[in-house]
Structure formats: structure tokens, C-alpha cells
Amino acid sequence: MIETVILVVQVALGIGGLVALVRVIRGPSLADRIIGLDLLLLLLAGGVATTGHPEEDLLVPVLIVVTLIAFAGTIIVARFIEWRDTE
């Protein structure tokens, strides 16, 4: 039962990733693409989390790194957009 739910959730996350890609490709602005990429990373982290097992030592570092990259990446691009538009 639990395995089935986990599988369903993973499929949902996979579909979500494909849907988010639509926004990354369509844009139209850079901010829209970054929203899509940020979400893609969070969905990836969600997928990693569903494989979670207490003895799995890699899980925590991977979760931290992925969410940190999503956060830092979004902020860097946001700064870039402001810099580009005020130059």
C-alpha cells in the first residue's frame, strides 16, 4: 500500500516536471523560465525525498544541495534581471 502511494507520488512528480518544462521552454520572459527551473529543482528534491530511507546516507546532503542551488540560482538570476534592466 505504502509502496503504491510512493509510486503514484513519484509519477505525479515526474508529470509535474514535464509540465514545468513547458513554462521553461515557453517563457516568455527570463523570470518565467527561472520560475520553471526553480520548480523543477524542487520537484527533483521531492523525488529524492520519496526514495528516503533512514540508512541512506546520501539523502540529506542531496536534499540540502538541491534546495540550496534552487534558492541561490533564483536569487542570482533575479539580481541579474535587475542589473540588466537598470544598465
Q: Look up residue 87 and give its DSSP letter.
A: -
Contact map string, positions 6 to 25, toward another protein, x by CB under 8 A: x-xxx-xx-xxx-xx-xx--
- Tell me how far CA of residue 36 lies from CA of 2, 15, 74, 86, 87, in angstroms: 30, 13, 10, 24, 26
CB of 63 to another protein, least distance (A): 6
Listed in sequence order, the DSSP H helices in the chain are 2-26, 30-50, 59-86
Q: CB of residue 19 vs another protein: minimum separation in angstroms?
A: 4
Per the omega criterion (within 30 degrees of 0), is the bond before 28 cis?
Answer: yes
* Residues engaged in binding another protein (CB under 8 A): 1-2, 5-6, 8-10, 12-13, 15-17, 19-20, 22-23, 26, 29, 31-32, 34-36, 38-39, 42-43, 45-46, 49-50, 52-54, 59-60, 63-64, 67, 70-71, 74-75, 77-79, 81-83, 85-86
